[in-house]
Chains A and B, each alone.
Chain A
Amino acid sequence: MKAKHSDPKRASSLPEIPLPFLGRLIHPLIRERRSLAGALSWMGLGILFFFIFIAVFAPLLVPFSQTQPFASPVLQAPSLQHLMGTDNVGRDVLSRVIWGARTSLEIMAIGVLIALAVGFPVGLLSGYVGGKIDRLLVLIMDSIYAFPGLLLAALIAAVIGRGVFNIGIAITVIYIPLYFRVTRSQTLSVREEPYVEAARALGAKSHTVMFSYIAHSAIIAIPVIFSLSSADAILTAAGLSYLGLGLEVDTPGDWGRDLSDAQSFIGVGIWWMSVFPGLMIVILTVGLSFLGEGLNDIINPILRKERS
């Protein structure tokens, strides 16, 4: 991340800046591990890493590597052979659920990372430069932020077509304003801090000041919205798939589409088609929001301390 490069020579001649980013995050996480916020954060991290593990090793984990329909009997209730049963076209639900973790995390990563890559620098610039550009950017971002995200993503998805990458792009538009807002407000409060003014007074060039000092301080707010927007991205991607605007039909795993398919079978007691993909989404998003809220409770006091 941008804020991590700190020139040792400059660091010795300029006033001290707060600890490196990861240190500022991990130290309090370890220190607060016994508090409620710390416990929530670690639980969230655990869930996230569990899903990342499943996603990375999906090809090795799935009991049935087939993706083509009718390889197994249709609509089998959960059994030893099919732990989560089979769906209406004879696919193993457990296998689909495991592949679904991979597609969900892929879409989430694309959507949220692009939003970070765009929203963070633009927010930094807007907050630092101020003036008319800032006001215009704020107006544009706030307007997009006020528009229902899923609708915007659905519109973009309809125009650019299906696929993991395209859906990632479609949902990134929702989160750019979020990263922009948070980064900008951080920048505004960091801009007047003593060490930034000191760096300026010592003759650091304005872009150096901006990117090494302000970015460094502003980035501490990012992990919180990173977790929360990730949870929302999972939900939105699943929503798009549920609406039939998401991935190609032959994608090996797609929680949203599975839930959409499952709906026709609810009336006849086929509960396993909807319960398991739904549970996966809930566990992952609850984990991510535990992480986000836990981090929020841990980081806010740090921010207040750094400010005072």
Chain B
Amino acid sequence: MPKTGSLITYAVTRLILSLPMLFILLTVVFFVLRVIPGDPIAALLAEGTPPYIVEAVRHSLGLDRPYWEQYLVYLAQIFTGNLGISIGQYFKGQSVLAVILQRLPATAELTIGAMLVASIIGVGTGLIAGVNRDKPVDLIVRLYGTIIFVIPIFWLGEILQIVFAVNLGLLPAQGRFSGLDPPATVTGFYTIDSLLAGRIDKFFIALQHLVLPCLTLGLVLSGFFTKTVRANLLRTISSDYVEAAKARGIPRGRIITRYALKNALIPVVTVLGLQFAILFAGAVLTERTFSWPGMGSLLLLSINTADYPMIQGTIVVYAFIIVVISVIVDIINGLIDPRVRY
């Protein structure tokens, strides 16, 4: 069976199908930044900025031209990889894309770590609850899933800081690295770069800094996993193929993992794309709580310094990331579920 061939075809189809989504997101960003009532430049600049300065900034960014012209220029620039030049006080004159790419690994390291925490805790608790339906442990886990999901992420972060950083002094409360110089940049992931450089000590420093932010973000997201895994597991556990497997004398542990859990994870993977949306939103808050130098902090910095090109560039990059993730999620889905690869 040409398994790989059909998978590649499938992946390419998914990629093409995701282009409208990218286009719509870029249009929405354009619409918000330039069309809706309100003057972003005036709103961003400090109150009392003389009108001629506001006008000058608008003119230099091309915001005084007709919308259709702005729109075409906007799309053309994005697809040629030109996100403009920063006008904020911190990155003035630097390429927006370069600054963002420099910040991207911090956010990626945080979100990947958080996703790991969320899926391990979420799948684990969902599995325990689903297998022990309506027993006390099930109720406790359901309560956990509901409550953890609506806890303000920054509040949870503050509490973890109080407990683990302030009171116990076990882990650093702020930042990505401390003490030594960060490892030389290869991938931008401090954990990977320090291993590449052969510096285990730096690896542990990076890891220590990752623990609290990833735990904060991952715990909040795990509630979503807990609930969806449990709900789907209840469905697959009572399915016909599980009953048939039982009748063939397949051991219970194997039925739970290979039959019930694996089939229950398919719908979980399909909503994984939406989980990433929650994850990135949560990452902006987590980055602020832990002074994490990622894209979320960059966006806030640009809003506070009226760095219009940087704001637009950051959001556009977020849009690209979301689209790419939705394609990756679809491909993972195709890898797990043979029925999708058609």
Q: How many of chain B's residues touch chain A, expressed as a range?
A: 35 or more
CB distance from B196 to the nearest CB of A (A): 31
Rounded to whole angstroms, the CA-CA distance of A46 and B279 in the bound complex is 31
Top 8 closest pairs, chain A to chain B, by CB: A150-B281, A285-B150, A278-B155, A148-B281, A148-B280, A143-B24, A160-B38, A159-B40
User: Any chain A CB within 8 A of the CB of B162?
Assistant: yes
Question: Quick check: A278 and B158 within 8 Å, CB to CB?
Answer: yes
Q: Which of chain A's residues have a CB closer than 8 A to the CB of B279?
A: 148
Q: Which of chain A's residues have a CB closer than 8 A to the CB of B211?
A: none
Contacts A139-B24, A155-B32, A259-B155 given; 15 further ones with Cβ under 8 A?
A144-B24, A146-B274, A147-B319, A154-B303, A155-B33, A155-B315, A158-B40, A160-B38, A232-B150, A235-B150, A239-B152, A243-B288, A244-B304, A256-B152, A274-B162
Checking B21, B25, B38 against A161 with a beta-carbon cut-off of 8 angstroms, the contacting residue is B38
CB distance from B36 to the nearest CB of A (A): 7
Q: Which residues of B contact A (CB under 8 A)?
A: 20-21, 24-25, 28-29, 32-33, 36-38, 40, 43-44, 146-147, 149-155, 158-159, 161-162, 166, 173, 273-274, 277-282, 284-285, 288-289, 299-300, 303-304, 311, 315, 318-319, 322, 326
Question: Quick check: A239 and B153 within 8 Å, CB to CB?
Answer: yes
Question: Quick check: B43 and A151 within 8 Å, CB to CB?
Answer: no
CB distance from B314 to the nearest CB of A (A): 9
A-B residue pairs in contact (CB < 8 Å), sample of 16: A147-B28, A148-B279, A149-B281, A151-B318, A152-B28, A152-B32, A155-B32, A159-B40, A159-B43, A160-B37, A161-B43, A239-B153, A259-B158, A263-B158, A274-B159, A282-B155
Given contacts A148-B318, A160-B37, A161-B43, contact A289 B281 (CB under 8 A): no
Closest to B28 in A: A144
Contact flags A263-290 to B (C-beta < 8 A → 1, else 0): 1001101010010001001100110111
Rounded to whole angstroms, the CA-CA distance of A155 and B43 in the bound complex is 12
Closest to B166 in A: A267
Given contacts A143-B21, A146-B277, A161-B43, contact A245 B303 (CB under 8 A): yes
User: Any chain B CB within 8 A of the CB of A231?
Assistant: yes
Rounded to whole angstroms, the CA-CA distance of A156 and B303 in the bound complex is 11
Question: Quick check: B32 and A159 within 8 Å, CB to CB?
Answer: yes
User: Any chain B CB within 8 A of the CB of A293?
Assistant: yes
User: Any chain B CB within 8 A of the CB of A29?
Assistant: no
User: Any chain B CB within 8 A of the CB of A142?
Assistant: yes
Given contacts A263-B289, A266-B158, A282-B155, contact A231 B43 (CB under 8 A): no
Rounded to whole angstroms, the CA-CA distance of A143 and B299 in the bound complex is 21
Q: Which of chain B's residues have a CB closer than 8 A to the CB of A148?
A: 277-281, 284, 318, 322
Select the residue from B149, B154, B285, B299 with max chain A CB neighbours within 10 A.
B154
Given contacts A151-B318, A160-B43, A239-B152, contact A286 B147 (CB under 8 A): yes
Rounded to whole angstroms, the CA-CA distance of A143 and B29 in the bound complex is 12
